[in-house]
Structure 1
Amino acid sequence: MGVRQTARRRRGRTTVALLTVAIMGGLAAGCDTGGAPTDHGQDGGRSSAPSSSSGSVLAVKVDNAAAARPQTGLDQADLVYAEQVEGGLSRLMAVFATKLPKAVGPVRSARESDLELLRQFHRPTLAFSGAQHKLLPLIDKAPLTAVPPERNSDAYFRDVGKAAPHNLYLRPQRLMRSAPGAAALTTGFRFGAAPTGGTPQTTRTVRFPSASFTFSWSAERHRWLVAMDGTPTVTADGARVAPATVVVQYVRVRTSGLHDVLGNNSPYSETVGSGKAQVLRDGRVFDAQWRRASAADGTRFTTADGTPVNFAQGQAWVMLVKE
């Protein structure tokens, strides 16, 4: 009897120890140590540890439908691309290298032309909400780190103040420990003094089939104030979006082999090749030529005599407009 009682006591102590470990582990898993803004209706599911920045930029596909505005974090991007999507609407790609905002969004789906555009960066991290099923294998094969919500749900959350699908947001610091720095912006862009010449211009409107962007020069801020579809562009915290340089890059926009759920063809903006461009900086517009020899190269902008067209220091917007 003494032996059996001793065995039962040992089994009891072991059970208590195991329960204690399980409870403590569950409490630790439930703690939020990411330091992200408080939100409601956060997506659940598995999460992964933040990846090292490894000198790579973070590119986020940002919704630009009227229901998605005002966006979050757009003013802190180093570079913003605007591209045509289905129905003649526009979508943005915000690229972050020198700083990581607390949140970015709303996040939307990727497009095939994004893969060519992103080849200029060394293994960038792409945050997006999803993609057409035929595009997913191409994304997996591309030289980038693809992080949709199903691969790191802890980095995303839903804003219950907006209706889906315009309410998915990203916490960049749960993907990257730190910003990689300006050296990761391997775009081929040059920054410095403006070239000679140019034409004074204080307002420029760029049109997509079903969207418009107006850039108005502010001499006080020395920036171009953005308006989209006739409404001043501000972020969710009230910051006016104001790039230092705006590029109107005329590209070939062709049909692709992909369609959205409504059957509309997904346009493909070709960013490898050459063509005409206009560079807006310092309240002036400079006629330029653009050239990108291969997808792995950056894009060079030059005047007619081959002089590089430098950008002003600060955020740059690149409008990929049909030639």
Structure 2
Amino acid sequence: MKPHLSGMIPPVVSPLTAEHRPDTGAVERLAAHVVGGGATGVFVLGSCGEGPTLEPDVATAITRAYVDAVAGSVPVLAGIGEASTERAVRAAMEHEQAGVDVLVVMAPMYFNTETDDAVVRHVTAIAEATRLPLVVYNIPHLTHHPITPRALREVAAIDAVVALKESSGDWDTYSALAETARSTGLQVFQGAEALIARSLASGADGAVPGIANVVPGLAAELVRAGLAGDTVLAADLQRRLDDVCALYRSGFWLSSLKSALAELGITGPTAGRALAPLDGDGLSEVRRVLTVAGLIGAPA
């Protein structure tokens, strides 16, 4: 049976120890934080979850930890971001064995071949390798392979494909893909925080905002207001969410996000070794944003 996904599904970070190993205790705390805040699912191993860059054993351990932590209370979605279809098929089977409920499939990331047919072959092969439903994930600034309306229409005919997650951050791109998705019976999720209220007003089924790691309650309230058609409340909540998103400007966005979670005592700040940690000014800015949002107290 195809799941009915809707609401606010945070792309959770992958908590790591200082030695870059899985921090399962932090997984439990973050899962409780977002589910308690109103998340209707959790999405592991996306961009926020560093899925395309983690060591395979670390990715598997974190995925299993999230599956265990939510214990069936909400669906667990797992990202597949690989350079090749062969690696993606392997990852799909591993995710299924780990107990996830839905796979979120990005375009292949390395060879710049003819985009549409490559995407169709890629999604088809993954669908044939697993019994799990699939969400098609457009994030062209990272994959360098845009999923076009033509490709989406073709893969929508695959029975396993149930939804679109669109994270280009470009309204025209989103609109074209969302229209195609709705016309083919797929659900639609907005991945760009700044476009959540606008997308819900135009018929989106939900959102997948990274900032919900920090403020799940605010993000969930925004999505609920948008789905209920309360555009005035949604606009106000969008402005409040945008204010919290200012913490991304403190340095590299993922380092900023993990540093904010560390300030809240939920996870540590460790990210991939290639990602620059925040400097003193950046950390001060994260603290300022969290203080203004009422999430931590003002310094004495």
**By percentage of residues, which structure has more strand?**
1
Common fold, TM-score beyond 0.5?
no
TM-score, L = length of structure 2: 0.30
Structure with the bigger percentage of helix: 2
Greater CA radius of gyration, 1 or 2? Answer: 1
Flag the structure with more relative contact order, 1 or 2, with Cα contacts below 8 A and sequence separation at least 6: 1
TM-score (norm 1): 0.28
